[in-house]
Amino acid sequence: MDEHRQNLIAYQTTMSIVRELLERGVITEGEYHKIDTIIAERHSISLCSIFR
């Protein structure tokens, strides 16, 4: 599996957990967006990617 695909899978896996935290009220919408940006950058996902 190539590195880009691995990064996409890692990003999607992490964000599914973060979405669950948002839905449960553990984090706020603002925190969700900050986390999303950090995780996307960490996994080299473009800010305008369709996978975000």
The pLDDT of residue 48: 78
Phi and psi at 28, nearest 5°, equal -90, 170
pLDDT at residue 25, as a whole number:
98
Domain-embedded: residue 52: no
pLDDT in tens, the chain (52 residues): 799 999 999 999 999 999 999 999 999 999 999 999 999 999 999 877 766 6
Boundaries of domain holding 8: 3-42
Q: How many domains does one find in the chain? A: 1
Question: In a 3-state reduction of DSSP, which class is residue 50?
Answer: coil
CA distance 38 to 44: 10
H or E stretch including 35? helix 29-42
Q: Is residue 49 part of a domain?
A: no
CA-derived radius of gyration, the chain: 11
Q: Tell whether 50 is covered by a domain.
A: no
35: tokens are: 């986390």
In a domain, 51, yes or no: no
Q: What was the pLDDT predicted at 19?
A: 98
pLDDT of 26:
98
